[in-house]
Amino acid sequence: MATTYPVQTVHPFRRWRSVGVTPALFLHALAFYLSLAIGGVGIGEEVDVMRMIASALVLFSALVLINRSHPPRAQVIIILLIFIYTLISLYRTDALNLAIQKLDGFIIGGVLSYIIGSSLYAKFGENFLKGFIFVANFILLLTVAYKLNFGFSDRQVRFFLNGPIVFGWLMAIAGLVALSIAEHSRSKKFYVLSGFFVIAMLWSASKGPLIGFIAAIPFVLVENRIRRIMSLVTLFVASFIVLSEFHLIPKRLLVQGNIFSQDTTSENFGSIGIRRAMWQDAWSIFRSEPFFGVGIANWPQYTSLFLRQYGFEYPHNILAEILSEHGALGIIFWGSILVFVFKITHGLSRAILMFSVSALMFSGDMSYWRLLIFLPLIFASEKVR
């Protein structure tokens, strides 16, 4: 009689459970990822079923975890100051709906992600980071399947949950988290995962996440000598990209690049050229209203006719946005906030801060500041690092 063996079923979480990622942690990490991805609950925007479902999951998770979150007093004060400043700013806007959308992404989305992230990080430590990586990998797979059906190489087709810029940001952040875990655990699996996220970031074809990722790498790497080398590499690469896009490098040095890009007959004004025009407009607006700026979300109304024809709602540069809409007072206020966040962060949290500052020089508006301020604050009291 033949010997029979019991059928063994492999739980989909089995391998990840071995490193501490349980189904419950996965669901909360999913809510955390969605809080970063959707940015708020969609106030002022068109009704979207997927957005409503994601917002419901985020709000439910925040309500469940809110009593478990015990942020330091300094962080509570910072959040209250941001609330007060931004609420006062609403009285000076002529584009209330756009201003509310910005604050929804920044304040509401930021606070929800902070509540969920800080609670889970305090409870699970590094396992929460692994849960975030698991979720990011899950979303990446869904995005690949979605794009294969609707346009894999078409940047105009949504990257499943987000457009290319936000998708590039989140993949870059996941890459930094995976790299941080790999550096401290020496796990080849997380080095590979970090590589996959970098490829996904490049797939988005966004300059901001690429430059931000390069700028953040030195703050993730452990060895000081490697950190110094990477800092020099970062400076060189970022300088080359900026100088070349602003047409400040002799054309003869860029011939090979033109051949690879198949652009040998004409010049393209390009996204950086547009951003340069935005910066010039922002500087002109600042000079006309140097102390308080023209008001939150008012940049489109004060910009030139040349840029107005493109329909841009923000100058794609954090410094230009603050100068034009908040003036010198905004530079002092937001500069002080960033200095405070920089001082209390280290390791991964400081890497995320440096990534966000660098990426915001090329893309994103105030709604992205949830990733600039609230996300680093989650990891500011790093017990694992």
The pLDDT tens digits for 272-302 are: 667 778 888 889 999 999 999 999 999 888 8
What are the residues whose beta carbons fall under 8 Å from the beta carbon of 110, sequence distance 6 or more?
369, 370, 373, 374
In the numeric block, the tokens 């329909």 are attached to: 311
Q: Is the pLDDT of residue 16 over 70?
A: no
Provide φ and ψ at 107, rounded to 5°. Answer: -75, -60
pTM of the model: 0.84
Other Cβ atoms closer than 10 A to 84 = 10
CA 199 – CA 206 distance, rounded (Å) = 12
The pLDDT tens digits for 321-369 are: 999 999 999 999 999 999 999 998 888 999 999 999 999 988 889 999 9
Q: Is the pLDDT of residue 381 over 70?
A: no
Q: Is the pLDDT of residue 246 over 60?
A: no
Q: Is the pLDDT of residue 176 over 70?
A: yes
CA 355 – CA 173 distance, rounded (Å) = 8
Comparison of pLDDT for 281 and 240, the residue scoring more = 281
Q: Confidence band (pLDDT; 50, 70, 90) for 5?
A: very low
Q: Yes or no: say if 55 and 108 are a contact pair by the CB < 8 Å rule.
A: no
Q: Confidence band (pLDDT; 50, 70, 90) for 18?
A: low
CA 126 – CA 36 distance, rounded (Å) = 19
Q: 230: which 2 tokens?
A: 């990477």
Q: Is the pLDDT of residue 166 over 50?
A: yes
Q: Average pLDDT in the 44-57 region? A: 83
Q: Confidence band (pLDDT; 50, 70, 90) for 7?
A: very low
